[in-house]
Structure 1
C-alpha cells in the first residue's frame, strides 16, 4: 500500500492515511494494508485480529461513541467502501494533555483514505449518504463485557455533528455517560 500521505491531528495518536490508487481503463487498484509500508511511514505496527463491516441504509445513521476497555482495548483502522461518513474521536486517556478533546474528519469511498484510531479513544461516525458501507480492522476481538461509550451529543466534546437533529441510532447510544461522568479505563502513556 504505498502511502501517499499521513496527516496527524492536534490530539496525538490518530492519523489520516492516504493510500495510492493505480488506475487504468478498468478502474483502480489499491493496497489498503501493508505492514512494511505502515512501518516505513512511522505508524505503529498493530496486529489486526478482526475485520468488520457496517452497512447503514439511511443518512444520519450514527454509531458511537464506542470503545472497548483493557484488556480488550481496540485500535481501529477505518475506511469507507461506499458512501461517506463524518468520523469523530475523543481522547479518553486519563492524564493525557488532550484528555476530553475531540477531532473529526470526513471519509468517503472516493478518497482512498483510512483513519487510524489507537486504543484510548472513544470513536464514532455519522453517515452522510444512503447505503453507506464502512469497513474497519481492530486489534482485539469483540468482547461485550468490555464495551464502553461516551454520549455522542455531549456538548463538552465540541463535536460538530453534521446532522445533530436527524439521527438514526441504537437506543443504547443515547445512554452512555457524558465526559464529566465517564470513568475512563485508559491511562495516557507518553
Structure 2
C-alpha cells in the first residue's frame, strides 16, 4: 500500500472512513491516484461501485441529509473544486452510534475523501464561492426510494460551520423530517 492513508471509524462511528491519497507535485502541477481497488481492499474497504455522480453548487447550498430506504447506498465522496463541510449521520437501528453524526472538510486543497457506508444519511454545505462535488455509489439511485433527515435536527446536533453563510435548501430538503419523526414512521435500517 502506501498510496493512500485511511482513518477508519472516525469519532468511533463504525464504517466511516477518511481517505487521503498521496499527492505528487512539482512546478508543473500534481498527480494523485484517487481510487485504487487493491489499496482500498488492503485498507479494509472492499467496495463495488456502480454509479458516479457529480454536482456543482454555490456558497451556502446545503444538500441533505439524504438516504435511500430500500436500496441504501455506500458513497465515496470528494471535492475537486472548492470546499464543503460533509456530514454523515448513523441511522442503523441497533448501532451503538445511532443518531450520531460526523463531519469533515473536503476541499480541492486537502484531497480528502470520505466513505459513508449504507445505513447513513449524508449531506454537505458549500463553504467556498462554488464547489464541484463527486461521489461514487455502491447502488443505483432509485428516485422513488428517497429519504431525508432535517439538516438542523437539534437531537442530532450537527455543528455546521455556517456562521455568516446564508443556507440555501431545496424545497424538498426544507420538508425533511426529524429523527424522531422518522422513528415514529416505523422506518428502520437494520444492520
Relative to the length of structure 2, the TM-score reads 0.92
The equivalent of 2:16 in structure 1 is 14
Aligned to 2:95: 96
- The answer for the alignment partner of 1:170 in structure 2 is 170
Give the equivalent residue in structure 2 for 1:126: 125
SS state of the match for residue 145, structure 1?
A: helix
* Residue 186 of structure 1 pairs with residue 189 of structure 2: yes
Q: Which structure 2 residues correspond to residues 1-190 of structure 1 after superposition, within 5 A?
A: 2-9=3-10, 10-43=12-45, 45-57=46-58, 59-70=59-70, 72-163=71-162, 166-182=166-182, 183-188=186-191
**SS of residue in 2 equivalent to 1:81:** strand
Deviation at 1:26, TM superposition (A): 1.4
Aligned to 1:105, the other structure's residue is in SS state: strand
- Cα pair 1:85 1:126 within 8 Å, conserved: yes
**What secondary structure does 1:156 align onto?**
coil
Structure 2 residue ranges without an equivalent (≥5): none
* CA shift digits 1:74-126 (9 cap, x unpaired): 00000000110011111001111111111111111111211000010000000
Q: Deviations over 1:116-158 (max 9, x none)?
A: 0001000000000012110000111110111101011111011
Aligned length: 185
Mapped contact 1:151–1:175 kept (Cα < 8 A) = yes
Provide the TM-score with structure 1 as the length reference. Answer: 0.92
Q: Which sits farther off after the overlay, 127-136 or 23-32?
A: 23-32
Structure 1 residue ranges, 4+ long, deviating more than 4 angstroms after superposition: none
Q: Secondary structure at the match of 1:125?
A: strand
Q: What secondary structure sits across from 1:60 in the alignment?
A: coil
CA offset at residue 7 of structure 1?
4.5
Corresponding residue SS for 1:155: coil
Residues 146 and 185 (structure 1), Cα distance of their counterparts in 2 relative to 1, 3 Å cut: farther
